[in-house]
Structure 1
Amino acid sequence: MAAATSGKVYFHVTPPVKAIPCLTPFGMKLETYLRITGIPYEPIYGRSMGPKGKIPWIEYNGEAMGDSGLIIELLNREKGVDLNQPLSDADKAVSRAFTKMVEENTYWGLTQYRWIDNFDKLQELFEIPWIAMLFMRRIRSNTKQKLMAHGIGRHSKDDLEGIIEKDLKAISTFLGAKPYLMGDEPTEVDAVVFGQLSEIVWTAPDSYLHRIVALDCPNLLAYCNRIKDRYWPDWDQLTGNTNTNQ
Protein backbone atom coordinates (compact mmCIF):
# COMPACT_ATOMS: atom_id res chain seq x y z
CA MET A 1 0.00 0.00 0.00
CA ALA A 2 1.22 3.49 -0.80
CA ALA A 3 1.78 6.06 1.97
CA ALA A 4 -1.64 7.67 1.67
CA THR A 5 -2.19 11.39 1.24
CA SER A 6 -5.77 12.52 1.90
CA GLY A 7 -7.75 13.00 -1.29
CA LYS A 8 -5.04 11.64 -3.58
CA VAL A 9 -5.69 8.85 -6.07
CA TYR A 10 -3.03 6.14 -6.17
CA PHE A 11 -3.60 4.23 -9.39
CA HIS A 12 -2.24 0.66 -9.35
CA VAL A 13 -1.75 -0.61 -12.86
CA THR A 14 0.53 -2.76 -14.99
CA PRO A 15 3.66 -1.05 -16.33
CA PRO A 16 3.73 0.38 -19.85
CA VAL A 17 5.13 -1.71 -22.70
CA LYS A 18 6.26 -0.74 -26.18
CA ALA A 19 2.86 -1.45 -27.67
CA ILE A 20 0.67 0.51 -25.25
CA PRO A 21 0.78 2.29 -21.89
CA CYS A 22 -1.29 -0.47 -20.27
CA LEU A 23 -2.08 -4.02 -21.36
CA THR A 24 -5.47 -4.22 -19.69
CA PRO A 25 -8.37 -2.42 -21.36
CA PHE A 26 -9.78 -1.59 -17.93
CA GLY A 27 -6.53 0.11 -17.02
CA MET A 28 -6.65 2.14 -20.23
CA LYS A 29 -10.28 2.97 -19.48
CA LEU A 30 -9.65 4.18 -15.95
CA GLU A 31 -6.53 6.18 -16.76
CA THR A 32 -8.25 7.79 -19.76
CA TYR A 33 -11.13 8.76 -17.49
CA LEU A 34 -8.67 10.30 -15.01
CA ARG A 35 -7.04 12.26 -17.82
CA ILE A 36 -10.33 13.47 -19.32
CA THR A 37 -11.58 14.67 -15.94
CA GLY A 38 -8.24 16.12 -14.89
CA ILE A 39 -8.35 14.31 -11.55
CA PRO A 40 -4.77 14.23 -10.19
CA TYR A 41 -3.42 10.73 -9.67
CA GLU A 42 -0.17 8.90 -9.10
CA PRO A 43 0.42 5.73 -11.12
CA ILE A 44 1.97 2.87 -9.19
CA TYR A 45 3.29 0.32 -11.66
CA GLY A 46 3.34 -3.34 -10.75
CA ARG A 47 1.29 -6.49 -10.93
CA SER A 48 -0.17 -6.60 -7.43
CA MET A 49 -3.87 -7.37 -7.42
CA GLY A 50 -6.46 -5.21 -5.74
CA PRO A 51 -9.10 -6.19 -3.18
CA LYS A 52 -11.18 -7.98 -5.84
CA GLY A 53 -8.20 -9.93 -7.15
CA LYS A 54 -7.88 -7.84 -10.30
CA ILE A 55 -5.92 -4.95 -11.73
CA PRO A 56 -6.28 -1.94 -12.03
CA TRP A 57 -7.30 -0.73 -8.60
CA ILE A 58 -6.87 2.41 -6.56
CA GLU A 59 -6.10 3.58 -3.07
CA TYR A 60 -8.06 6.62 -1.95
CA ASN A 61 -8.11 8.08 1.54
CA GLY A 62 -6.41 4.98 2.88
CA GLU A 63 -8.90 2.55 1.33
CA ALA A 64 -8.23 0.10 -1.49
CA MET A 65 -10.91 -0.23 -4.14
CA GLY A 66 -11.28 -2.41 -7.21
CA ASP A 67 -13.52 -2.50 -10.30
CA SER A 68 -13.00 0.33 -12.75
CA GLY A 69 -16.70 1.13 -13.02
CA LEU A 70 -17.20 1.40 -9.26
CA ILE A 71 -14.00 3.44 -8.98
CA ILE A 72 -15.36 5.94 -11.50
CA GLU A 73 -18.60 6.19 -9.54
CA LEU A 74 -16.65 6.82 -6.33
CA LEU A 75 -14.45 9.49 -7.88
CA ASN A 76 -17.44 11.19 -9.48
CA ARG A 77 -18.96 11.58 -6.02
CA GLU A 78 -15.75 12.48 -4.21
CA LYS A 79 -14.42 14.92 -6.81
CA GLY A 80 -17.72 16.42 -7.93
CA VAL A 81 -17.17 15.19 -11.49
CA ASP A 82 -19.85 14.19 -14.00
CA LEU A 83 -18.80 13.76 -17.62
CA ASN A 84 -22.33 12.61 -18.38
CA GLN A 85 -24.02 15.73 -17.01
CA PRO A 86 -24.84 17.18 -20.47
CA LEU A 87 -26.52 13.96 -21.62
CA SER A 88 -30.23 13.30 -21.71
CA ASP A 89 -31.59 10.28 -19.85
CA ALA A 90 -31.95 8.49 -23.19
CA ASP A 91 -28.30 9.19 -24.08
CA LYS A 92 -27.22 7.95 -20.65
CA ALA A 93 -29.12 4.73 -21.32
CA VAL A 94 -27.39 4.33 -24.70
CA SER A 95 -24.02 4.96 -23.04
CA ARG A 96 -24.67 2.25 -20.49
CA ALA A 97 -25.73 -0.18 -23.19
CA PHE A 98 -22.49 0.40 -25.13
CA THR A 99 -20.48 0.11 -21.90
CA LYS A 100 -21.99 -3.26 -21.10
CA MET A 101 -21.65 -4.49 -24.67
CA VAL A 102 -17.93 -3.80 -24.95
CA GLU A 103 -17.05 -4.89 -21.39
CA GLU A 104 -19.24 -7.99 -21.18
CA ASN A 105 -19.01 -9.15 -24.79
CA THR A 106 -16.45 -7.45 -27.06
CA TYR A 107 -13.77 -7.77 -24.37
CA TRP A 108 -13.96 -11.55 -24.56
CA GLY A 109 -13.16 -11.50 -28.27
CA LEU A 110 -9.92 -9.69 -27.48
CA THR A 111 -9.29 -12.14 -24.63
CA GLN A 112 -9.73 -15.10 -26.95
CA TYR A 113 -7.40 -13.56 -29.52
CA ARG A 114 -4.68 -12.61 -27.03
CA TRP A 115 -4.67 -15.44 -24.50
CA ILE A 116 -5.81 -18.44 -26.54
CA ASP A 117 -5.20 -17.95 -30.24
CA ASN A 118 -1.93 -16.00 -29.92
CA PHE A 119 -0.55 -17.13 -26.59
CA ASP A 120 2.88 -17.69 -28.16
CA LYS A 121 3.18 -13.93 -28.75
CA LEU A 122 2.56 -12.91 -25.13
CA GLN A 123 6.18 -13.02 -24.02
CA GLU A 124 7.10 -10.36 -26.56
CA LEU A 125 3.94 -8.33 -25.97
CA PHE A 126 4.27 -8.31 -22.18
CA GLU A 127 8.07 -7.93 -22.35
CA ILE A 128 8.68 -10.60 -19.74
CA PRO A 129 11.40 -13.27 -19.36
CA TRP A 130 10.63 -16.70 -20.74
CA ILE A 131 10.45 -18.24 -17.28
CA ALA A 132 7.42 -16.04 -16.53
CA MET A 133 5.55 -17.83 -19.30
CA LEU A 134 5.13 -20.78 -16.92
CA PHE A 135 2.92 -18.55 -14.78
CA MET A 136 1.22 -17.19 -17.89
CA ARG A 137 0.22 -20.73 -18.83
CA ARG A 138 -1.74 -20.98 -15.60
CA ILE A 139 -3.50 -17.72 -16.47
CA ARG A 140 -4.26 -19.11 -19.93
CA SER A 141 -5.85 -22.21 -18.42
CA ASN A 142 -8.00 -20.07 -16.12
CA THR A 143 -8.91 -17.85 -19.07
CA LYS A 144 -10.13 -20.84 -21.06
CA GLN A 145 -12.41 -21.74 -18.17
CA LYS A 146 -13.73 -18.19 -17.97
CA LEU A 147 -14.44 -18.10 -21.70
CA MET A 148 -16.37 -21.34 -21.43
CA ALA A 149 -18.29 -20.15 -18.37
CA HIS A 150 -19.18 -16.89 -20.13
CA GLY A 151 -20.40 -18.89 -23.10
CA ILE A 152 -18.50 -17.08 -25.80
CA GLY A 153 -15.73 -19.67 -25.62
CA ARG A 154 -18.18 -22.33 -26.78
CA HIS A 155 -18.57 -20.78 -30.22
CA SER A 156 -16.66 -21.72 -33.34
CA LYS A 157 -13.94 -19.34 -34.50
CA ASP A 158 -16.16 -18.03 -37.32
CA ASP A 159 -19.16 -17.53 -35.04
CA LEU A 160 -17.09 -15.72 -32.42
CA GLU A 161 -15.50 -13.42 -34.97
CA GLY A 162 -18.92 -12.68 -36.43
CA ILE A 163 -20.29 -11.70 -33.02
CA ILE A 164 -17.40 -9.33 -32.26
CA GLU A 165 -17.55 -7.85 -35.77
CA LYS A 166 -21.20 -6.92 -35.17
CA ASP A 167 -20.21 -5.23 -31.89
CA LEU A 168 -17.46 -3.16 -33.50
CA LYS A 169 -19.58 -2.18 -36.48
CA ALA A 170 -22.38 -1.12 -34.14
CA ILE A 171 -19.96 1.28 -32.42
CA SER A 172 -18.79 2.55 -35.79
CA THR A 173 -22.33 3.13 -37.04
CA PHE A 174 -23.36 4.99 -33.90
CA LEU A 175 -20.17 7.09 -33.88
CA GLY A 176 -20.61 8.10 -37.50
CA ALA A 177 -18.83 11.39 -38.16
CA LYS A 178 -19.06 12.63 -34.57
CA PRO A 179 -15.78 13.35 -32.73
CA TYR A 180 -16.93 11.32 -29.72
CA LEU A 181 -19.66 8.78 -29.20
CA MET A 182 -22.17 11.14 -27.64
CA GLY A 183 -21.22 14.32 -29.45
CA ASP A 184 -18.58 17.02 -29.54
CA GLU A 185 -16.97 16.29 -26.16
CA PRO A 186 -16.03 13.00 -24.50
CA THR A 187 -18.18 11.39 -21.84
CA GLU A 188 -17.62 8.33 -19.66
CA VAL A 189 -18.48 5.91 -22.43
CA ASP A 190 -15.56 7.22 -24.50
CA ALA A 191 -13.11 6.18 -21.79
CA VAL A 192 -14.76 2.75 -21.75
CA VAL A 193 -14.77 2.21 -25.51
CA PHE A 194 -11.27 3.65 -25.99
CA GLY A 195 -10.05 1.25 -23.31
CA GLN A 196 -11.16 -1.69 -25.42
CA LEU A 197 -10.39 -0.32 -28.89
CA SER A 198 -6.91 0.90 -27.94
CA GLU A 199 -5.89 -2.68 -27.16
CA ILE A 200 -7.07 -3.73 -30.61
CA VAL A 201 -5.40 -0.85 -32.45
CA TRP A 202 -2.02 -1.00 -30.73
CA THR A 203 -1.59 -4.61 -29.56
CA ALA A 204 -3.31 -6.74 -32.21
CA PRO A 205 -1.99 -5.49 -35.56
CA ASP A 206 -2.41 -8.75 -37.49
CA SER A 207 -5.84 -9.70 -36.17
CA TYR A 208 -9.33 -9.74 -37.62
CA LEU A 209 -10.10 -7.24 -34.84
CA HIS A 210 -7.59 -4.76 -36.22
CA ARG A 211 -8.86 -5.29 -39.76
CA ILE A 212 -12.36 -4.33 -38.68
CA VAL A 213 -11.26 -1.23 -36.79
CA ALA A 214 -8.61 0.03 -39.20
CA LEU A 215 -9.99 -1.01 -42.59
CA ASP A 216 -13.70 -1.76 -42.35
CA CYS A 217 -14.46 1.00 -39.83
CA PRO A 218 -11.81 3.71 -40.31
CA ASN A 219 -13.82 6.14 -38.20
CA LEU A 220 -12.97 3.93 -35.20
CA LEU A 221 -9.26 4.22 -35.94
CA ALA A 222 -9.58 8.00 -36.28
CA TYR A 223 -11.54 8.06 -33.01
CA CYS A 224 -8.77 6.17 -31.19
CA ASN A 225 -6.09 8.46 -32.54
CA ARG A 226 -8.19 11.51 -31.62
CA ILE A 227 -8.42 10.42 -27.97
CA LYS A 228 -4.78 9.36 -27.85
CA ASP A 229 -3.55 12.67 -29.28
CA ARG A 230 -5.74 14.76 -26.98
CA TYR A 231 -5.37 12.93 -23.68
CA TRP A 232 -2.16 10.92 -24.00
CA PRO A 233 0.49 13.47 -25.05
CA ASP A 234 3.07 11.38 -23.14
CA TRP A 235 2.22 8.16 -25.00
CA ASP A 236 5.58 8.04 -26.79
CA GLN A 237 7.42 8.80 -23.57
CA LEU A 238 5.60 6.02 -21.74
CA THR A 239 6.02 3.40 -24.45
CA GLY A 240 9.37 4.48 -25.86
CA ASN A 241 7.83 3.90 -29.27
CA THR A 242 7.68 6.77 -31.76
CA ASN A 243 5.64 4.84 -34.33
CA THR A 244 2.33 4.51 -32.51
CA ASN A 245 -0.27 5.38 -35.17
CA GLN A 246 -1.52 2.23 -36.88
Structure 2
Amino acid sequence: MQSVLNLGKTTVTTCTFLRAASTSLQGKGPLKTNWKENVVYLYQFPRPANRQPNLSPYCLKIETFLRANRIKHEVVGTWLTLRQSPRGLLPFIELNGQQISDSQVIVWKLQKHFDLDDKLEGSDRGTARAVERMIDLSTNYALLVDKTVNNAHLLLARQVSNLPLPSFLTNYLAKGFSQTARKRVNGVLGKLDVAEQKELLRRDIRAIDDILGDKKFLFGDRITSVDCSVFGQIGAVFYLPYRQQISDLLEDDFPRVRAYCDRIRQHYYPEWRDD
Protein backbone atom coordinates (compact mmCIF):
# COMPACT_ATOMS: atom_id res chain seq x y z
CA MET A 1 0.00 0.00 0.00
CA GLN A 2 1.11 3.51 -0.68
CA SER A 3 0.02 7.04 -0.04
CA VAL A 4 -0.54 9.75 -2.62
CA LEU A 5 -1.26 13.43 -2.20
CA ASN A 6 -3.95 13.75 -4.84
CA LEU A 7 -5.57 17.17 -4.81
CA GLY A 8 -7.99 16.46 -7.64
CA LYS A 9 -8.63 18.39 -10.84
CA THR A 10 -8.05 21.74 -9.14
CA THR A 11 -4.31 21.07 -9.01
CA VAL A 12 -3.75 20.48 -12.71
CA THR A 13 -2.44 24.01 -13.31
CA THR A 14 -0.48 24.15 -10.06
CA CYS A 15 1.27 20.84 -10.64
CA THR A 16 2.01 21.24 -14.35
CA PHE A 17 5.58 22.33 -13.68
CA LEU A 18 6.22 19.53 -11.19
CA ARG A 19 4.95 16.91 -13.59
CA ALA A 20 6.87 18.27 -16.54
CA ALA A 21 10.05 18.49 -14.51
CA SER A 22 9.87 14.85 -13.46
CA THR A 23 8.21 12.96 -16.32
CA SER A 24 11.47 12.60 -18.23
CA LEU A 25 12.99 10.73 -15.29
CA GLN A 26 10.09 8.39 -14.49
CA GLY A 27 10.93 4.73 -14.99
CA LYS A 28 14.44 5.37 -16.31
CA GLY A 29 16.50 3.87 -13.53
CA PRO A 30 17.67 5.13 -10.16
CA LEU A 31 17.54 8.81 -9.29
CA LYS A 32 20.58 8.36 -7.07
CA THR A 33 23.35 7.76 -9.57
CA ASN A 34 26.19 7.67 -7.03
CA TRP A 35 24.43 5.24 -4.72
CA LYS A 36 26.28 3.28 -2.08
CA GLU A 37 25.97 -0.46 -1.71
CA ASN A 38 23.27 -1.60 0.74
CA VAL A 39 22.22 1.96 1.58
CA VAL A 40 18.48 2.49 1.24
CA TYR A 41 17.38 5.78 -0.30
CA LEU A 42 13.85 6.52 0.90
CA TYR A 43 11.87 8.88 -1.32
CA GLN A 44 8.91 10.41 0.42
CA PHE A 45 6.98 13.62 0.98
CA PRO A 46 9.00 16.46 2.56
CA ARG A 47 9.04 16.80 6.34
CA PRO A 48 5.90 18.63 7.47
CA ALA A 49 6.04 21.84 9.49
CA ASN A 50 4.61 20.29 12.66
CA ARG A 51 7.78 18.20 13.25
CA GLN A 52 6.18 14.85 12.39
CA PRO A 53 8.46 12.69 10.24
CA ASN A 54 5.74 12.43 7.61
CA LEU A 55 2.02 13.02 7.10
CA SER A 56 1.75 9.87 5.00
CA PRO A 57 1.14 6.71 7.06
CA TYR A 58 2.99 4.60 4.50
CA CYS A 59 6.03 6.85 4.46
CA LEU A 60 6.06 6.83 8.26
CA LYS A 61 5.75 3.03 8.21
CA ILE A 62 8.80 2.55 6.00
CA GLU A 63 11.00 5.03 7.85
CA THR A 64 10.05 3.37 11.15
CA PHE A 65 10.91 -0.04 9.70
CA LEU A 66 14.32 1.22 8.56
CA ARG A 67 15.06 2.77 11.95
CA ALA A 68 13.79 -0.22 13.92
CA ASN A 69 16.01 -2.61 11.94
CA ARG A 70 19.00 -0.25 11.92
CA ILE A 71 19.22 -0.27 8.16
CA LYS A 72 21.49 2.44 6.86
CA HIS A 73 19.38 4.85 4.88
CA GLU A 74 18.99 8.37 3.57
CA VAL A 75 15.67 10.20 3.39
CA VAL A 76 14.98 12.17 0.23
CA GLY A 77 12.00 14.46 0.73
CA THR A 78 10.85 16.52 -2.23
CA TRP A 79 7.58 17.04 -4.07
CA LEU A 80 9.27 16.38 -7.41
CA THR A 81 9.81 12.70 -6.55
CA LEU A 82 6.06 12.07 -6.62
CA ARG A 83 6.04 11.70 -10.39
CA GLN A 84 9.43 10.02 -10.47
CA SER A 85 8.11 7.03 -8.55
CA PRO A 86 7.76 3.79 -10.54
CA ARG A 87 4.01 3.90 -9.79
CA GLY A 88 3.57 7.63 -9.40
CA LEU A 89 3.10 7.25 -5.65
CA LEU A 90 5.11 7.63 -2.48
CA PRO A 91 6.98 6.16 -0.74
CA PHE A 92 9.45 4.28 -2.89
CA ILE A 93 13.03 3.26 -2.23
CA GLU A 94 16.19 2.68 -4.19
CA LEU A 95 18.49 -0.11 -3.11
CA ASN A 96 21.66 -0.94 -5.03
CA GLY A 97 20.35 0.86 -8.10
CA GLN A 98 16.92 -0.79 -8.06
CA GLN A 99 13.68 1.10 -7.48
CA ILE A 100 11.06 -0.58 -5.30
CA SER A 101 7.58 0.84 -4.64
CA ASP A 102 4.46 -0.06 -2.59
CA SER A 103 5.14 -0.05 1.13
CA GLN A 104 4.11 -3.70 1.54
CA VAL A 105 6.45 -4.84 -1.21
CA ILE A 106 9.23 -2.60 0.13
CA VAL A 107 9.08 -4.38 3.48
CA TRP A 108 9.14 -7.81 1.84
CA LYS A 109 12.14 -6.88 -0.32
CA LEU A 110 14.05 -5.36 2.59
CA GLN A 111 13.39 -8.40 4.77
CA LYS A 112 14.70 -10.70 2.08
CA HIS A 113 17.74 -8.58 1.18
CA PHE A 114 18.87 -7.94 4.77
CA ASP A 115 17.83 -11.39 6.05
CA LEU A 116 15.27 -10.02 8.49
CA ASP A 117 12.51 -12.07 10.03
CA ASP A 118 9.68 -11.12 12.39
CA LYS A 119 10.14 -14.59 13.92
CA LEU A 120 6.41 -15.22 14.19
CA GLU A 121 4.88 -18.64 13.82
CA GLY A 122 1.47 -20.28 13.78
CA SER A 123 -1.41 -18.19 15.09
CA ASP A 124 0.83 -15.17 15.73
CA ARG A 125 1.91 -15.15 12.09
CA GLY A 126 -1.71 -15.41 10.96
CA THR A 127 -2.80 -12.67 13.35
CA ALA A 128 0.03 -10.43 12.15
CA ARG A 129 -1.07 -10.76 8.53
CA ALA A 130 -4.70 -10.07 9.43
CA VAL A 131 -3.74 -6.99 11.46
CA GLU A 132 -1.54 -5.69 8.66
CA ARG A 133 -4.37 -5.84 6.13
CA MET A 134 -6.88 -4.36 8.59
CA ILE A 135 -4.64 -1.43 9.50
CA ASP A 136 -3.64 -0.62 5.90
CA LEU A 137 -7.19 -0.82 4.55
CA SER A 138 -10.06 -0.57 7.04
CA THR A 139 -8.26 1.55 9.64
CA ASN A 140 -6.51 3.72 7.07
CA TYR A 141 -9.76 4.79 5.44
CA ALA A 142 -11.58 5.19 8.74
CA LEU A 143 -8.81 7.54 9.89
CA LEU A 144 -8.90 9.37 6.56
CA VAL A 145 -12.40 10.68 7.32
CA ASP A 146 -11.28 13.00 10.12
CA LYS A 147 -7.76 13.53 8.86
CA THR A 148 -8.65 14.63 5.35
CA VAL A 149 -12.35 14.53 4.45
CA ASN A 150 -13.42 16.71 7.38
CA ASN A 151 -10.21 18.66 7.91
CA ALA A 152 -8.41 19.01 4.58
CA HIS A 153 -8.05 22.76 5.15
CA LEU A 154 -6.12 22.07 8.37
CA LEU A 155 -4.02 19.27 6.90
CA LEU A 156 -2.92 21.31 3.89
CA ALA A 157 -2.25 24.50 5.85
CA ARG A 158 1.40 25.51 5.55
CA GLN A 159 1.91 25.32 9.34
CA VAL A 160 1.09 21.59 9.12
CA SER A 161 1.90 20.34 5.61
CA ASN A 162 4.73 22.74 4.81
CA LEU A 163 3.31 23.06 1.29
CA PRO A 164 5.08 25.96 -0.45
CA LEU A 165 1.78 27.64 -1.31
CA PRO A 166 -0.09 30.69 0.06
CA SER A 167 -3.02 30.06 2.39
CA PHE A 168 -5.69 31.23 -0.06
CA LEU A 169 -4.50 28.57 -2.51
CA THR A 170 -4.28 25.73 0.03
CA ASN A 171 -7.80 26.58 1.22
CA TYR A 172 -9.00 26.41 -2.37
CA LEU A 173 -7.21 23.12 -3.02
CA ALA A 174 -8.51 21.66 0.23
CA LYS A 175 -12.03 21.48 -1.19
CA GLY A 176 -10.96 19.27 -4.06
CA PHE A 177 -8.69 17.24 -1.78
CA SER A 178 -11.58 16.59 0.60
CA GLN A 179 -13.89 15.52 -2.22
CA THR A 180 -11.27 13.17 -3.64
CA ALA A 181 -10.68 11.64 -0.20
CA ARG A 182 -14.44 11.19 0.31
CA LYS A 183 -14.72 9.26 -2.96
CA ARG A 184 -11.83 7.01 -1.94
CA VAL A 185 -13.34 6.36 1.49
CA ASN A 186 -16.78 5.59 0.04
CA GLY A 187 -15.20 3.34 -2.56
CA VAL A 188 -13.55 1.19 0.11
CA LEU A 189 -15.85 1.42 3.13
CA GLY A 190 -19.14 2.16 1.43
CA LYS A 191 -21.34 5.13 2.26
CA LEU A 192 -21.34 4.66 6.01
CA ASP A 193 -22.96 7.36 8.10
CA VAL A 194 -20.98 9.22 10.76
CA ALA A 195 -21.95 6.88 13.60
CA GLU A 196 -21.08 3.80 11.54
CA GLN A 197 -17.70 5.22 10.54
CA LYS A 198 -16.88 5.97 14.17
CA GLU A 199 -17.91 2.48 15.22
CA LEU A 200 -15.70 0.94 12.52
CA LEU A 201 -12.66 2.85 13.78
CA ARG A 202 -13.46 1.99 17.40
CA ARG A 203 -13.62 -1.71 16.58
CA ASP A 204 -10.29 -1.58 14.72
CA ILE A 205 -8.52 0.20 17.59
CA ARG A 206 -10.11 -2.18 20.08
CA ALA A 207 -8.70 -5.10 18.09
CA ILE A 208 -5.22 -3.57 18.36
CA ASP A 209 -5.73 -3.09 22.07
CA ASP A 210 -6.91 -6.69 22.52
CA ILE A 211 -3.82 -8.07 20.79
CA LEU A 212 -1.44 -5.65 22.49
CA GLY A 213 -2.63 -6.21 26.04
CA ASP A 214 0.13 -5.26 28.44
CA LYS A 215 2.97 -6.21 26.09
CA LYS A 216 5.60 -3.77 24.87
CA PHE A 217 4.80 -4.49 21.23
CA LEU A 218 1.99 -6.44 19.56
CA PHE A 219 3.77 -9.78 19.77
CA GLY A 220 6.09 -9.35 22.72
CA ASP A 221 9.25 -7.41 23.54
CA ARG A 222 10.51 -7.23 19.95
CA ILE A 223 9.16 -4.81 17.35
CA THR A 224 7.88 -6.37 14.13
CA SER A 225 7.00 -5.03 10.70
CA VAL A 226 3.35 -5.07 11.77
CA ASP A 227 4.11 -2.69 14.62
CA CYS A 228 5.63 -0.36 12.02
CA SER A 229 2.41 -0.54 9.99
CA VAL A 230 0.23 0.16 13.01
CA PHE A 231 2.39 3.04 14.17
CA GLY A 232 2.49 4.47 10.65
CA GLN A 233 -1.28 4.60 10.39
CA ILE A 234 -2.07 5.82 13.90
CA GLY A 235 0.99 8.03 14.36
CA ALA A 236 0.44 9.94 11.12
CA VAL A 237 -2.99 11.01 12.40
CA PHE A 238 -2.96 11.03 16.19
CA TYR A 239 -0.05 13.46 16.46
CA LEU A 240 -1.58 16.03 14.12
CA PRO A 241 -2.23 19.41 15.80
CA TYR A 242 -6.02 19.17 15.58
CA ARG A 243 -8.45 16.91 17.43
CA GLN A 244 -10.08 13.95 15.75
CA GLN A 245 -11.96 10.85 16.80
CA ILE A 246 -8.68 8.98 17.21
CA SER A 247 -7.65 11.60 19.79
CA ASP A 248 -10.66 10.77 21.94
CA LEU A 249 -10.29 7.02 21.44
CA LEU A 250 -6.64 6.86 22.53
CA GLU A 251 -6.89 9.39 25.33
CA ASP A 252 -10.16 8.17 26.84
CA ASP A 253 -10.78 4.55 25.87
CA PHE A 254 -7.54 2.90 24.79
CA PRO A 255 -4.65 4.34 26.83
CA ARG A 256 -2.53 1.23 26.22
CA VAL A 257 -2.56 1.89 22.47
CA ARG A 258 -1.59 5.48 23.07
CA ALA A 259 1.28 4.45 25.37
CA TYR A 260 2.37 1.92 22.73
CA CYS A 261 2.52 4.62 20.03
CA ASP A 262 4.32 6.99 22.39
CA ARG A 263 6.92 4.29 23.13
CA ILE A 264 7.66 3.75 19.46
CA ARG A 265 7.84 7.47 18.80
CA GLN A 266 10.15 8.20 21.72
CA HIS A 267 12.47 5.26 21.07
CA TYR A 268 12.84 5.49 17.30
CA TYR A 269 12.33 9.23 16.84
CA PRO A 270 14.09 10.90 19.78
CA GLU A 271 14.33 14.13 17.77
CA TRP A 272 10.54 14.28 17.32
CA ARG A 273 9.47 16.53 20.16
CA ASP A 274 6.61 18.93 20.71
CA ASP A 275 7.66 22.46 21.54
CA deviation string 1:39-86 (max 9, x = no partner): 10000011222212211111112222211110011111111111x12x
Match of 2:38? 7
CA change 1:146–1:90 in 2 (3 A) is same
Contact 1:56 1:66 in 2 (8 A): yes
CA change 1:35–1:103 in 2 (3 A) is same
- The one-letter amino acid of 1:115's match is T
Match of 1:60? 95
Match of 2:208? 171
Contact 2:38 2:72 in 1 (8 A): no
1:75 aligns with 2:110: yes
Contact 2:41 2:75 in 1 (8 A): yes
1:96 aligns with 2:129: yes
Match of 1:159? 196
- Aligned-pair distance for 1:234? 2.1
Contact 1:204 1:210 in 2 (8 A): no
- The one-letter amino acid of 1:2's match is K
- Of 140-149 and 40-49, deviating more is 140-149
Distance of 2:186 and 2:245 partners within structure 1: 21
1:150 aligns with 2:150: no
- Aligned-pair distance for 1:141? 3.2
Secondary structure in 2 aligned to 1:58?
strand
Contact 1:11 1:56 in 2 (8 A): yes
- Of 14-23 and 90-99, deviating more is 14-23
- Aligned-pair distance for 1:146? 1.6
- Aligned-pair distance for 1:148? 2.2
Contact 2:146 2:245 in 1 (8 A): no
Larger radius of gyration: 2
Secondary structure in 1 aligned to 2:239?
helix
CA change 1:60–1:223 in 2 (3 A) is same
- Aligned-pair distance for 1:199? 2.0
Contact 1:30 1:191 in 2 (8 A): yes
- The one-letter amino acid of 1:140's match is S
Contact 1:51 1:66 in 2 (8 A): yes
Distance of 2:203 and 2:196 partners within structure 1: 11
- Aligned-pair distance for 1:5? 2.5
Contact 1:107 1:196 in 2 (8 A): yes
Structure 1: gaps spanning 5 or more residues: none
- Of 211-220 and 141-150, deviating more is 141-150
Contact 1:7 1:61 in 2 (8 A): yes
Secondary structure in 1 aligned to 2:93?
strand
Structure 2: gaps spanning 5 or more residues: 1-30
Match of 2:14? none
- Of 126-135 and 2-11, deviating more is 126-135
CA deviation string 1:84-106 (max 9, x = no partner): 12x22221110011111111101
Distance of 2:160 and 2:268 partners within structure 1: 23
1:35 aligns with 2:83: no
- Of 191-200 and 159-168, deviating more is 191-200
Contact 1:201 1:214 in 2 (8 A): no
Contact 2:93 2:100 in 1 (8 A): yes
- The one-letter amino acid of 2:73's match is Y
Distance of 2:125 and 2:171 partners within structure 1: 42
Contact 1:214 1:220 in 2 (8 A): no
Contact 2:94 2:100 in 1 (8 A): yes
Q: TM-score, length-normalised on structure 2?
A: 0.80
Distance of 2:142 and 2:263 partners within structure 1: 24
Distance of 2:205 and 2:244 partners within structure 1: 14
Secondary structure in 1 aligned to 2:230?
helix
Contact 2:43 2:77 in 1 (8 A): yes
CA root-mean-square deviation: 1.7
- Aligned-pair distance for 1:151? 3.0
1:21 aligns with 2:53: yes
CA deviation string 1:126-180 (max 9, x = no partner): 133323454554443332222222134x110111111111100111122111111
